[in-house]
Structure 1
Amino acid sequence: MQGFTIYDFIILVVYLGAVLVAGLFFAKKDMKGKEYFKGDGTIPWWVTSVSIFATLLSPISFLSLAGNSYAGTWIMWFAQLGMLIAIPLAIRYFLPVYAKLDIDTAYHYLELRFGSKALRVLGAVMFIVYQIGRMSIIMYLPCMVLASLTGINVNILILIMGIIAIIYSYTGGLKSVLWTDFIQGSVLIVGIIFALVYLMSNIDGGVGAVFSSFWTEHKFLAPDQPIFDANLLRDSVFLMVFGAGLNTLGSYVSSQDIVQRFVTTTDTKKLNKMMRTNGILSIGLATAFYLIGTGLYVFYQQHPLPPAAAQDQIFASYIAFELPVGITGLLLAAIYAAAQSTLSTGLNSIASSWTLDIQSRLTKKEMSFEKQTKIGQYVSLAVGIFSIVVAMLLASGGITSAYEWFNGFMGLVLGILVGIFILGVFFRRANACGAFAGFAASTIVMIIVKYYATNVSIWSYSLISIAVCLAVGLPASWLYNKATGKKTDAPKFTVYADFRKGLKTEERLAEVRDAAAGGMA
């Protein structure tokens, strides 16, 4: 057990410096206004796809997913299969609408659909609250792990991470963020594959011993784990897949940090490639993480435990004490730097949402591109400092599984928000009154569920909030129309039905043109 050596420390410092230089290199073009928030149109779809993967999974997955299967079973792995629900739904029903409208932010859609600036501002505020919580977790977790392995004070590590992330976001805008995300995501993919192969080759019995533990020690699923429960408020494999699918759908369609990547292009073919590639990467790498976790369980039955063996630190401890010198420094640096990159994504998405959704709605005069950019930079700086403080507070507390805690938080906040998007995309007669009523009702219900109904599964949060939003929002829209004598109709191409009609018409015209061309030939 060599631990974290001076050579690893040197590699860590050099790697972080190289990533910072790369981020500043992609920031060398002076982009202003929407270019700062949406990119300049030169970012390849595969870069954006890896960036989505890195944004959703990076440091939380690298540490927490392996810890879950090490300490327990693969039950949390089924949450990754929720992407098989979320991705097809997003591709079919939401992305075509977003591409057609060429929206600036996720909440720009709400204004276009419901004709309400207030609803756009409300959506942005909810996202900012969610994103600050997410960024704080992403700062807290890898810094706690690295502190225990290196002896460096956790608050110093959080401070360094925050400062570098602020530099990315402040100077380079979305283009710099996407490219640094791509670099970090690529290093993480290579690193996880290397770690998996190295681990399996050092287990007595290899892969066979790991799979044997699935059955002999129930490391895949506990014997009493229900596959399906008719009560959708209680934990089951089905609820985990379905609930996680709704959580992920909420990220794809209503979370600005992800939607911000979609608005870099209006090409639906590129958008679909982004989504499918992201799904393959996410499910594939999640499976590798869980194999590593179970592999670590078998490995440490055959070898002494490392000094830091807490659930969310077990994989990083293996990296520090078992991998070759140099590889240890590179992988720990990748975890740390990936957190920085994801943090810079959050800062940039908050800056874009505040500037375009809130500041521009509250300012009567139209803002110049220069002023938009300057406001975005100031917001990045302020939110970055605030997130550093929150991460330090989290580091002084205790969270058994950051991944599970985060999914509960995401289901609570984004579940409330995504209900409004579903109301808008699927129901033509829904109006702003119904959207506000649905939002208010689901918020009240979810606060009660979160803090008073302790026996309700976190995986049902999105399901409950969406159901309440629709159950209240649709009747409220109807009552408003009855009371005012108005007949609400959604603007063109803001609902999926309109888009499909338009698409079918275009397809029929194309077929007619092709047939005519064939006849003439």
Structure 2
Amino acid sequence: MKNLPLLDLAIIAIYLVAMVLVGVYFSRRNNSSDQFTKASGLIPGWAIGLSIYATFLSSNTFLGVPGKAFGGNWNAFVFSISMPLAAWVASKYFVPFYRSTGEVSAYTNLEKRFGAWARTYAVVCFLLTQLARMGSIFFGISLTLQALTGYSMETIMLVTGICIIIYTVMGGIEAVIWTEVVQGVLKTLGAVLIVYLIVVDMPGGVSKIIAIGQQDDKFSLGSLSLDFTQATFWVVLLYGFFINLNNFGMDQNYVQRYHTASSEKEAAKSVWLCVWIYVPASLMFFIIGTCLYAYYQVNPELIEAVKLQAAAERLGLNANSIEIKNLAASLQPADYGDKVMPHFMVTMIPTGLIGLIVSAILSAAMSTISSGMNASATVFSEDIYKRYFKANISEKQNMKLLHIATVVFGLLGMICGIAMIGVKSILDIWWQLSGIFAGGMLGLFLLGIISKKSGNMEAFAATIVGILVIIWLSLSNLIPVDYAYLKNPLHANMTIVVGTLTIYLTGAFITRLKSKNI
């Protein structure tokens, strides 16, 4: 490793070993599938809340949010503002619903409500969402560590992935939750430390940062106009509400945690604790992005290396230095935003502290990936293998299945991360993919719990219509210019909003139409 001093390497190594040892510790009592997936329902609400918070606060937040704020403004913070409303719906309706069913999978009820196809459809959507999430997080962490170590992004994904797989397989959901409690604290302290280091080194301090931010409109939450073709305040608010509703109500990562709580009250409390911590914590990452923007406005010579790197990546290996310099001079902050925080860490953070901050970023990645691996393995076991291959398997066989599935989904997440190398914005690609995959299953779920008279036929027809609409929304950019009038005019973040409403409203309309004809 060519950039990190020995002390920082030692700190990172100690952190990685500690995470593996957590898995070893919990493996001693992780001897049943109930323990692996539910922790036997013995986790306190505060720990679950911190765990959910840690899952939300992934490396996409740690790296992607400062990059967005550096290249733009605080428009994406509106996503966080939408969380309390989604949490209210979840704690009032979703938590009691899942606790009453007793089913560890979030999707078993869909089969009871509409048939096997509905359960399978939701499971496929969930697994695709998880692979997209894990891939984007693997990509984000490797982007940072590549700048620090010089190793290839593929090598970094492999090393970190193996550590995550070990403690997730050995410790199950209990290891995931308790490591996330530690990781949630660590990543928050890391963010506070970064803000402090920027402000201390900034000529003029906080007042200068605020002045530059106001001058360049960096604190804007977006336009308040009712324009759904741009990332306005209302577009991000709608996207945030629907995606958070999907997270709290349909995402196995969160639903599974409701079952680890000792009571319904503790489960609901965990949702609110997550929200009240996440909203101000996410704001801090926007502050980091704005602080970095102001810092490099005052010290423009310090950012030249990042611009040259971004230009070189765009032009490829065959470019000469003049071409690279010319392109670098024309790049805008949004073109290299995701590279700024890693660059600041490499060049400005003192020895010892950088090891702590890298550990914080690692924790941001590891918490979300481990959670996704455990949830994906649980869904595969409950909703695919037991449903379609062998329903009655022994406890030993089930544990072996869960372990193998955890490893497989971890490896698939790495492959997705490798496939994302070269994307412009981590946050943008994650938001777009999650909106595509989540819209369908949330609409179907809402139809099932709100429209009591909707049956199998109405739900199936509504889902087909919804899938067609989502495909059109997602792929209309492939339509030739001659047929431009057929293209989707809406912003990409509206996909989950339109997809969800299409399925729910279509199903409700067909149900109403059918009841009138009877």
What TM-score do you get using the length of structure 2 for normalisation? Answer: 0.87
Query: CA contact under 8 A between 2:121 and 2:441: conserved in structure 1?
Result: no
Q: Which residue of 2 aligns with 1:457?
A: 491
Q: What is the CA distance between 1:147 and its match in structure 2?
A: 0.7
Q: Which residue of 2 aligns with 1:248?
A: 244
Q: Which residue of 2 aligns with 1:301?
A: 297
2: CA distance, partners of 1:237 / 1:419:
23
Query: CA contact under 8 A between 2:59 and 2:141: conserved in structure 1?
Result: yes
* Map 1:40-59 → 2, pairs under 5 A: 40-59=40-59
C-alpha deviations, 1:300-345, integer Å up to 9, x for none? 2223425446311212222232222111012112212431232121
1: CA distance, partners of 2:269 / 2:205:
36
Query: CA contact under 8 A between 1:85 and 1:242: conserved in structure 2?
Result: no
Q: Which residue of 2 aligns with 1:101?
A: 101
> For the structure 1 residues 426 and 392, does the alpha-carbon distance in structure 2 shift closer, same or farther, using more than 3 Å as the test?
same
Q: Which residue of 1 aligns with 2:397?
A: 371
2: CA distance, partners of 1:191 / 1:364:
46
Q: What is the CA distance between 1:106 and its match in structure 2?
A: 0.8
1: CA distance, partners of 2:393 / 2:5:
52
Of the three residues 372, 387, 393, the one matched with 2:413 is: 387
Q: What is the CA distance between 1:160 and its match in structure 2?
A: 0.7
Q: Which residue of 1 aligns with 2:451?
A: 427
> For the structure 1 residues 175 and 450, does the alpha-carbon distance in structure 2 shift closer, same or farther, using more than 3 Å as the test?
same
> For the structure 1 residues 22 and 121, does the alpha-carbon distance in structure 2 shift closer, same or farther, using more than 3 Å as the test?
same
Query: CA contact under 8 A between 1:26 and 1:172: conserved in structure 2?
Result: yes
Alignment partner of 1:15: what SS? helix
Query: CA contact under 8 A between 2:38 and 2:173: conserved in structure 1?
Result: yes
> For the structure 1 residues 377 and 192, does the alpha-carbon distance in structure 2 shift closer, same or farther, using more than 3 Å as the test?
same
1: CA distance, partners of 2:101 / 2:382:
16
Q: Which of 262-271 and 156-165 deviates more?
A: 262-271
Q: Which residue of 2 aligns with 1:89?
A: 89
Q: Which of 119-128 and 313-322 deviates more?
A: 313-322
Alignment partner of 1:324: what SS? coil
Query: CA contact under 8 A between 2:41 and 2:259: conserved in structure 1?
Result: no
Alignment partner of 1:40: what SS? helix
* Map 1:181-260 → 2, pairs under 5 A: 181-221=180-220, 225-229=222-226, 231-260=227-256
Q: What is the CA distance between 1:459 and its match in structure 2?
A: 2.2
C-alpha deviations, 1:381-411, integer Å up to 9, x for none? 222222222222222xx21111122111111
Q: What is the CA distance between 1:144 and its match in structure 2?
A: 1.7
Q: Which residue of 2 aligns with 1:415?
A: 439
Query: CA contact under 8 A between 1:11 and 1:330: conserved in structure 2?
Result: yes
Q: Which residue of 2 aligns with 1:358?
A: 384
1: CA distance, partners of 2:425 / 2:269:
32
Q: Which residue of 1 aligns with 2:506?
A: 472
Q: What is the CA distance between 1:115 and its match in structure 2?
A: 5.2
Query: CA contact under 8 A between 1:23 and 1:168: conserved in structure 2?
Result: yes
Alignment partner of 1:305: what SS? helix
* Structure 2, gaps ≥5 residues long: 308-335, 477-486
Which AA in structure 2 matches 1:199? I
Of the three residues 319, 330, 341, the one matched with 1:315 is: 341
Q: Which residue of 2 aligns with 1:494?
A: none
1: CA distance, partners of 2:497 / 2:114:
26
Q: What is the CA distance between 1:124 and its match in structure 2?
A: 1.2
Q: What is the CA distance between 1:208 and its match in structure 2?
A: 1.7
2: CA distance, partners of 1:171 / 1:20:
9
C-alpha deviations, 1:340-364, integer Å up to 9, x for none? 2321211111110010111111145
2: CA distance, partners of 1:15 / 1:102:
36
Alignment partner of 2:302: what SS? coil
Which AA in structure 1 matches 2:8? D
Which AA in structure 2 matches 1:342? T
2: CA distance, partners of 1:152 / 1:163:
16
Which AA in structure 2 matches 1:62? F
Which AA in structure 2 matches 1:268? E
Query: CA contact under 8 A between 1:107 and 1:357: conserved in structure 2?
Result: yes
C-alpha deviations, 1:464-511, integer Å up to 9, x for none? 01111022212334566688x7xxxxxxxxxxxxxxxxxxxxxxxxxx
* Map 1:475-490 → 2, pairs under 5 A: 475-478=509-512
Which AA in structure 2 matches 1:285? A
2: CA distance, partners of 1:174 / 1:336:
19
Q: What is the CA distance between 1:169 and its match in structure 2?
A: 2.3
2: CA distance, partners of 1:327 / 1:272:
37
Alignment partner of 2:58: what SS? helix
CA RMSD of aligned residues (A): 2.1
Q: Which residue of 1 aligns with 2:356?
A: 330
Of the three residues 334, 349, 353, the one matched with 2:375 is: 349
* Structure 1, gaps ≥5 residues long: 486-521
Query: CA contact under 8 A between 1:53 and 1:281: conserved in structure 2?
Result: yes
C-alpha deviations, 1:146-182, integer Å up to 9, x for none? 1122111211111111111211222221111111112
C-alpha deviations, 1:220-274, integer Å up to 9, x for none? 229xx52131x54543112211221111111111111121112213623212221
Query: CA contact under 8 A between 1:106 and 1:255: conserved in structure 2?
Result: yes
2: CA distance, partners of 1:146 / 1:274:
32
Which AA in structure 1 matches 2:179? T
2: CA distance, partners of 1:402 / 1:354:
27
Q: Which residue of 2 aligns with 1:400?
A: 424
1: CA distance, partners of 2:165 / 2:220:
42
Q: Which residue of 1 aligns with 2:320?
A: none
Alignment partner of 1:106: what SS? coil
Query: CA contact under 8 A between 2:43 and 2:262: conserved in structure 1?
Result: no
2: CA distance, partners of 1:445 / 1:266:
41
2: CA distance, partners of 1:477 / 1:130:
29
Alignment partner of 2:490: what SS? coil
* Map 1:105-124 → 2, pairs under 5 A: 105-112=105-112, 114=113, 116-124=115-123
Alignment partner of 2:104: what SS? coil
1: CA distance, partners of 2:109 / 2:347:
49
> For the structure 1 residues 247 and 30, does the alpha-carbon distance in structure 2 shift closer, same or farther, using more than 3 Å as the test?
closer
Which AA in structure 2 matches 1:388? M
Q: How many residues align?
A: 477
Query: CA contact under 8 A between 1:148 and 1:308: conserved in structure 2?
Result: no
2: CA distance, partners of 1:369 / 1:432:
33
Alignment partner of 2:82: what SS? helix
C-alpha deviations, 1:190-232, integer Å up to 9, x for none? 111122123222222222222222322211229xx52131x54
Q: What is the CA distance between 1:20 and its match in structure 2?
A: 1.4
Q: Which residue of 1 aligns with 2:266?
A: 270
Which AA in structure 2 matches 1:58? S
Q: Which residue of 2 aligns with 1:173?
A: 172
Q: Which residue of 1 aligns with 2:24?
A: 24
Which AA in structure 1 matches 2:220? L
